[in-house]
């Protein structure tokens, strides 16, 4: 039994949720999000609440029940308040900039790394801090993870991308004899 899936999701003011042809649509003040509903999960909207239930008792249906309830909850929260992630770039000579619809990274390679910013996402750079914001939690998280994967923080000097709330455990280097 899913503890997350059992709880109905409250709809805030100015938020509309509709289910049609296996697609969940959430409209709010910041935009509209859609997601395909898995055939093993059923979504209902009644009295300002969204409930998610499994259609059968299979293991897959039970697993998707809580997962899809979380997705619906994140969609409802996202159209009311933007999600954001902050990445910090550490390293001498490492730079980043937003040029049009691209993020340009100078991170120690022999070439610049260009990454296309997905639609619906805003990226802003201030000194060595990159802020990624958008209404879709999945896209914001995946894009920030893709950026971090380009240059993960190394354990000796801490060079590379790390999240603002992430703690990098540093190793001790070689000792001089």
Report the CATH superfamily, name and number, of domain 3-78: Ribosomal protein L6 (3.90.930.12)
CB 64 within 8 A of CB 41: yes
CB atoms within 10 A of CB 84: 13
- CATH for 83-163? 3.90.930.12
Same fold, 3-78 and 83-163: yes
Is the separation of the CB atoms in 61 and 40 below 8 Å? yes
Q: Residue 95 and residue 128: Cα distance in Å, rounded?
A: 7
Q: Which two tokens stand for residue 77?
A: 């929260």
Q: What is the pLDDT along the chain (177 residues), one digit of tens a residue?
A: 678 888 999 999 999 999 999 999 999 999 999 999 999 999 999 999 999 999 999 999 999 999 999 999 999 999 999 999 999 999 999 999 999 999 999 999 999 999 999 999 999 999 999 999 999 999 999 999 999 999 999 999 989 999 999 999 999 888 877
Residue spans of the domains in the chain: they are 3-78, 83-163
Strand order in the sheet with 16-20: 16-20, 23-28, 31-36
Predicted TM-score (pTM) of the model is 0.90
């Amino acid at each position: 039994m899913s503890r997350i899936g059992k709880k109905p999701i409250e709809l805030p003011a100015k938020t509309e949720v509709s289910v049609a042809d296996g697609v969940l649509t959430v409209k709010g003040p910041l935009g509209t999000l859609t997601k395909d509903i898995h055939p093993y999960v059923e979504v209902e909207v009644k009295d300002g609440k969204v409930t998610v239930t499994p259609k059968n008792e299979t293991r897959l249906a039970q697993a998707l029940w809580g997962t899809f309830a979380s997705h619906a909850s994140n969609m409802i929260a996202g159209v009311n308040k933007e999600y954001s992630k902050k990445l910090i770039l550490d390293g001498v000579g490492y730079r980043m900039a937003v040029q049009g619809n691209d993020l340009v990274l100078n991170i120690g390679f022999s070439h610049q790394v260009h990454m296309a910013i997905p639609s619906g996402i805003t990226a802003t750079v201030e000194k060595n801090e990159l802020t990624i914001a958008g209404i879709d939690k999945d896209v914001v998280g995946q894009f920030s993870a893709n950026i971090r994967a380009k240059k993960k923080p190394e354990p000796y000097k801490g060079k590379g991308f790390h999240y603002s709330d992430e703690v990098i455990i540093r190793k001790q280097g070689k000792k001089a004899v």
